[in-house]
Structure 1
Amino acid sequence: MITLEFKLKGKLAQYRIVDDMIRTAQFVRNKALRYWIDNEGVKLSDLYKQCAVMAREFEWAGKLNSMARQASAERAIFAIGRFFANCKAKKPGKKGYPQFKKHTRCVEYKTTGWKLSADKRSLTFIDGFAAGTFKLVGSRDLHFYAPTEIKRVRVVRRADGYYVQFCISVERTEEAVPTGKSIGIDVGLNHFYTDSNGNTAPNPRYLRKSEKALKRAQKRVSRKKKGSKNRKKAINRLGKKHLKVGRQRKDFAVKTALCVVKSSDFVAYEDLQVRNMVKNHKLAKSISDAAWDQFAQWLQYFGKVYGKTVIAVAPVYTSQDCSACGNAVKKSLSVRTHVCSCGAVLDRDHNAALNILAKGLKQAGIVLNTVGHTEINAWGQTDLYSLVVTSASKPTG
């Protein structure tokens, strides 16, 4: 499944209709959640039936395409399922009990309620709201995909306009030239990451760089009268600045992950629990700004696309253990140099990256053993790669 995004270009009246569509989708989702709360043992099929009931009960809800109403109900059942999954897994802290939405920003259609033009440069909504035809603005080309491959059409409202996302049921694969290289990655705050070869990538700190402008924009919002048009304009300007920071962060994560995956056949990285790490209020903003989770997700994605092995390893003792002899060398966060009695002296993050690589190779060796390979030297990169390149056609991560 891939997603192609375009900006919707239309008239102001059309955008107001899209807002009505989004509010209706939010209403259907909240009503479905309320039905689940009030009735025991509710299934998705029951929520589908309630969508039809809502369409008959509320005229304006019936304007929304039937499959769009079903997609909104699916969002409710997804939140419910996630809550029960967290409870079953005994996830620490809050389990994410489903909440009613107040500020939904998207509406999702399935295979009906919309129509692409013959040249696939415009999109028309043909349900009861009749939002009309929008021009698609973007660099991607939909001509490569048949209309039957488009399984979802999602309209998203952002601070700088309205966008449409086409969810296409195809598997993306790219040809990759084997490099025979393995790499371990330790993410940090001084450097975005340090690899097992000692190379580093700078931490861009996009939020920190934009913090002054964000504070000024926030002050302008607080000075405006609540409910006024000027306040809405100030909120929109603030939203655009936050949107820019988020896009910069995503762009950096995508390009960095792609570079890492294409330059190595085997990538091991830390499986960090960022949700727990941000409880440290002194480092929470810097950790969130680094977006390690987003970087890890793109590593996994590109690993599957390029057929590379990407493995997440537990970060336990990766910074404390010596990569040369294995002895534990206790050190606080302020100590940035690893010094061991065996004579090993190197940067703290470089030492951690070497340990991460060793753990990843060992973990990969165990995985390969389960499919028939025995006596694998998990610490020897050359022996492992002769097996990974030839037999691991699908990433294990």
Structure 2
Amino acid sequence: MIILEFKAYGNKKQYKGIDEAIRTVKFVRNSCLRLWMDSKGLTKYDLNKYCKTLAKNFPFANDLNSTARQAAAERAWSSIARFYDNCKKKVPGKKGFPKFQKHCRSVEYKQSGWKLSPDKKSITFSDKKGIGKLKLKGTWDLWRFDKKQIKRVRIVRRADGYYVEFCVSVDINEQLEPADATIGLDVGLKYFYTDSRGDSEPNPRFYRTGEKRLKFYQRRVSRKKKGSANRKKAINRLGRTHLRISRQREEHAKRLARCVIRSNDLVAYEDLRVKNLVKNHCLAKSINDAGWYQFRKWLEHFGKKFGRVTVAVNPSYTSQNCSQCGEEVKKSLSTRTHICKCGCQLDRDHNAAINILKRALGTAGHVGTWILDPFACGDLASTLLGSDQVEQAESMKQESPRL
């Protein structure tokens, strides 16, 4: 499954139609959630049936394509199913009780309600929202795929415009020659990662670099009158700056992961829980700026694509234990050099990377934490295709055409 993304071009009337469709999706999703809260024992099929009731009672809901309404109901059910799963698994802390959506940025169609032009350079939406024909601009070749392979079409609103995404059912596996190499990776804040061979990749710190510019645009937003057109323009400019930084971070993680996977038969890395790490408010900004989560997802994606082995190991004591004799050498975060009685003297991260690789080779670990058939950026896809519409898909951009 791959995601092909195109920039969409239209006029102001069409953009208003897209915004109206997105608002309707939010209304349907929140209405389904309210029905579930008020009634007991509802299933996903009951929510789908409720979409027809909403269409009869509200003309603006009837103007939206029926499959788009069903996709909105599936978004509500995915949040409900996730809450049930967390309760069954007895996840510590909050279980993620479903909440009403305040901001929605996308509308999703299934295999009806849209039609591609013969040259595949434009798409026409046939519902009554007034979206009509949108021009598509991108580097992907849609003509290679049959319409039956396109399972879902999505319109996403971002700070820099509107995008159309196609979820295409196609095999992405590629076979590579064996590299005869294994590697362990230890991610950090000083360096993006240090491998078991002693090589390190610098941390680009995209957010820290652009933070001065972000503060400038944030001040401009705060000085504008609330509700004014100038404030909306300032908010849009701030949003485009944030979007640029997030794209830089994602592209950096993607390119590094692809290079690492293609060069090694086995890649070992720490099974970190970033959600818990960012609870340290002293390091939260730097951890989020590093993008370890994106890097790990792309490692597993390319590992599946190229047939490489990716292993996530328990990170406990990988920095404290000596990679040569196994003796525990306690050190604080400020101690950057590992010195052991056995004579081993290495950089702290290099020592940890060797321990990670040894642990991966000595134990099974676990492979493939995430399901890697996601829809693209923006809001999460309503469901994973082929999962009986229960499981929530992760949000991840697909490879750029340059790769």
Decide: shared fold, TM above 0.5: yes
**Aligned match of 1:288:** 288
Amino acid at match of 2:183: I
Find the aligned partners of 1:259 and 1:99 in 2 and give their Cα distance: 40
Q: Which residue of 1 aligns with 2:178?
A: 178
Structure 1 residue 364 displacement after superposition: 3.7
Aligned to 1:21: 21
Contact 2:311–2:366 (Cα < 8 Å) also in 1? no
User: Which protein is bigger by CA-based radius of gyration?
Assistant: 1
Using the TM superposition, give the Cα deviation of residue 179 of structure 1 relative to its aligned residue in structure 2, in angstroms.
0.6
- Give the deviation of 1:366 after TM superposition: 10
Q: What is aligned with 1:360?
A: 360
1:79 aligns to 2:79 (yes or no): yes
TM-score by length of 1: 0.91
Q: Residue 365 of structure 1: CA displacement?
A: 9.0
Task: Tell me the amino acid that sits aligned with residue 91 of structure 1.
Answer: V
Range with greater deviation from structure 2 (136-145 or 82-91): 82-91
TM-aligned CA distance change 1:92 to 1:229, over 3 Å: same
More helix by share: 1
Distance in 1 of aligned mates of 2:302 and 2:47: 36
RMSD of the alignment, in Å?
1.2
Matches within 5 A, 1:189-208: 189-208=189-208
Secondary structure of the corresponding residue to residue 212 of structure 2: helix
Closer, same or farther in 2 for the Cα pair 1:282/1:326, shift >3 Å?
A: same
Deviations 1:342-397 (A, max 9, x none): 11000000000000001111224999xxxxxxxxxxxxxxxxxxxxxxxxxxxxxx
- Matching of residues 1-397 of structure 1 within 5 Å: 1-364=1-364
With structure 2 as the length reference, what TM-score do the two structures score? 0.90
2:397 equivalent in structure 1: none
Give the aligned length. Answer: 367
Moved more, 87-96 or 206-215: 87-96
Tell me the amino acid that sits aligned with residue 196 of structure 2.
S
* Structure 2 counterpart SS, 1:225: coil
Contact 2:2 2:169 in 1 (8 A): yes
Change beyond 3 A, Cα 1:273–1:236: same
Q: SS of the counterpart of 1:104?
A: coil
Which structure is richer in relative contact order (CA contacts within 8 A, separation 6 or more)?
2
In the TM superposition, what is the alpha-carbon distance from 1:143 to its structure 2 partner?
A: 1.3
- On the 8 A contact 2:312/2:365 being kept in 1, the answer is no
Separation of aligned partners in 2, 1:99 and 1:14: 30
Q: Which stretch of structure 1 is more off in the superposition, 90-99 or 58-67?
A: 90-99
Shift of residue 93 of structure 1? 2.4
Return 170-179 or 52-61, whichever deviates more: 170-179
**Equivalent residue letter for 1:27:** F
For 1:288 and 1:93, how far apart are their aligned partners in 2?
A: 21
For residue 382 of structure 1, what is the aligned residue in structure 2?
A: none
Contact 2:150 2:166 in 1 (8 A): yes
Gaps of 5+ in 2: 368-403
Deviations 1:138-170 (A, max 9, x none): 111111211001111111000000001101111
CA 48–365 in structure 1, closer or farther in 2 if over 3 Å, else same: closer
Residues 13 and 130 in structure 2, CA contact (< 8 A), matched pair in contact too: no
